[in-house]
Amino acid sequence: MRIRNRVIGAALAACCLICAAQAADLPPLSHSLTLQAPRPAPALKLKDLDGRLHDLAQLKGKVVLINFWATWCPPCRREMPSMERLAQAFKDKPFVVLAVDVGEDPDTIEAFNSELDTVPTFPILLDTRSHVMRAWKVAGLPTTFLVDKQGRIVATAIGGREFDHPAMVQAVRELLRK
Amino acid sequence: MRRLTLTLLAAWPLLAFASEPSIDPETGLATWQTETQGIQVRLTQISPDQARAFYQARGFSPEAAERYARECVFMTVVRNVGGVPIQHNLANWRYVSSGQPPRAIRSKVAWEHLWKRQGVAESARIAFTWAQLPATQTFAPGDWNQGMTAYSVPHGAAFDLRFVWRAGGRFHSGILEQVKCAHEDS
């Protein structure tokens, strides 16, 4: 009972446990993309929070930013607002953001979204059993891929990013020109 | 691998980084950080209560969460702050606490076996797996990651951590000295 009570007492802090790491100074978000020789992107076909199916194969002709994340992952939480700003910056361009949540249910994600100042407008896809994440050979969260108009992975980013940093915006802009 | 381990152990005293931790004024939890040869490693204490609550919130039974909370848990950040890619492999890391030989960090595979024996649900095991620091990963310049690492050291006790990485075709190592586990009541 003692342990149970203490757990309840700590539950708030544990929402972002990792809030332990959020203490005085957070690990800074990066703003680099690692360019790669283009290679075909693995399949990605998942339902979003509303049950709509999204298929990467249907997005040829668009630049796609794919972000693997989870609500319990601190850098994932921190980079989400800047990802929304990036999506808004290119909302009139052939640019799509897909956020693939790993291993969580819609209720958990909705609860997280409700805490944000701005609810993401891009689709949040559900990779409940992390099969897609494994197919993409993601080793840790967050990991982000940039896919060109031909459906090829051309850049990656491991770890939290400030997606609306000028360097990131410029990388997307250049890809849109090609 | 044995040769690598022996070589790196021999170099231990030369590469040690004893640093004063920074203390979070709100939680009292401590962070140790070092940066050398293009890598930055940072360990922040996670209190036993935080570990219990985190995993119970993700479907662990109180007993299973308690098993993990018995460990000395840190939020661990590895970052490439240099100009060339680095590869880390947790299997090469070693920690030494008082009176103990160097030990390896328990692998995610080993934890997975334990959780299966304890009947932890698959969704909870998935959350556990991805919440740990990846076992192996390559970081391009600017890349980083964070996740939990757990050490079989009593709460409140100290240990030295030797972290190992590969860059430019060579193995490198560094030490964080006198890292302290969070107290049970922290």
Domain with A45, as residue range(s), is 26-177
Query: Of B51, B99, B104, nearest to B74 (Cα)?
Result: B51
At A67-93, the pLDDT tens digits run: 999 998 999 999 999 999 999 999 999
List the CATH number of the domain containing B79.
2.60.40
List the CATH number of the domain containing A73.
3.40.30.10
At B6-62, the pLDDT tens digits run: 454 444 444 455 568 999 998 899 999 999 999 999 999 999 999 999 999 999 999
| Residue A142 preceded by cis peptide, ω within 30 | yes
A75 touches chain B (CB under 8 A): yes
Query: Of A128, A124, A125, nearest to A105 (Cα)?
Result: A128
CB-nearest to A10 from B49, B122, B147 is B49
The pair of structure tokens assigned to B20 is: 């004063």
At B178 the three-state DSSP class reads strand
Does any domain span residue B22? Answer: yes
Confidence of residue A1 (pLDDT cuts 50, 70, 90): very low
At B138 the three-state DSSP class reads strand
Give the mean model confidence (pLDDT) for residues B154-170: 96
Contacts of A159 in chain B (CB under 8 A): 79, 139, 142-146
pLDDT of residue A26: 78
Among A4, A17, A22, the strongest candidate for a mutation testing the B interface, having the largest count of B CBs within 10 A, is A17
CA distance A126 to A136: 15
Note whether A25 contacts B22, CB cutoff 8 Å.
Answer: yes
pTM of the predicted structure, to 2 decimals: 0.85
Confidence of residue A178 (pLDDT cuts 50, 70, 90): confident
Domain count, chain B: 1
CB-nearest to A10 from B50, B79, B146 is B50
Asked if residue A99 lies in contact with residue A124, where contact means CB atoms within 8 angstroms, the answer is yes
CA distance B173 to B39: 10
pLDDT of residue B39: 96
Does any domain span residue A10? Answer: no
Does any domain span residue A11? Answer: no
pLDDT of residue A118: 83
- How far is residue B86 CA from its own chain's centroid? 17
- On average, the pLDDT of chain A sits at 87
Does any domain span residue B125? Answer: yes
Does any domain span residue B37? Answer: yes
Helix (H) or strand (E) holding B31, with range, is strand B30-36
At B94-140, the pLDDT tens digits run: 999 988 899 999 999 999 999 999 999 998 998 899 899 999 999 99
Give yes or no for residue B171 having a pLDDT over 90: yes
Give yes or no for residue A4 having a pLDDT over 50: no
Does any domain span residue B148? Answer: yes
Does any domain span residue A8? Answer: no
Does any domain span residue B185? Answer: no
Q: Which long-range contacts (CB under 8 A, 24 or more apart) does A5-13 make?
A: A6/B49, A6/B52, A7/B49, A7/B52, A7/B53, A7/B56, A7/B62, A7/B65, A9/B49, A10/B47, A10/B49, A10/B50, A10/B52, A10/B53, A11/B53, A11/B57, A13/B27, A13/B49, A13/B50, A13/B53
At A142-157, the pLDDT tens digits run: 999 999 999 999 999 9
pLDDT of residue B17: 53
Domain count, chain A: 1
Domain with B32, as residue range(s), is 2-180
Here the ipTM equals 0.81
CB-nearest to B136 from A20, A27, A139 is A139
Does any domain span residue A82? Answer: yes
Among A158, A161, A162, A168, the strongest candidate for a mutation testing the B interface, having the largest count of B CBs within 10 A, is A158
Query: DSSP string spanning B5-25?
Result: HHHHHHTGGGGEE--PPEE-T
- How far is residue B78 CA from its own chain's centroid? 10
Note whether A32 contacts B123, CB cutoff 8 Å.
Answer: no
β-pairing, A152-158 vs B86-89, is: unpaired
Q: Alpha carbon of B59 to those of A43, A104, A107, B103: distances in Å?
A: 30, 11, 14, 29
At A89-140, the pLDDT tens digits run: 999 999 999 999 998 899 999 999 998 888 899 999 999 988 999 999 999 9
At A23-51, the pLDDT tens digits run: 447 788 988 899 999 999 999 999 999 99
Please name the residues in contact with A9: beta carbons below 8 A apart, sequence gap of 6 or more.
B49
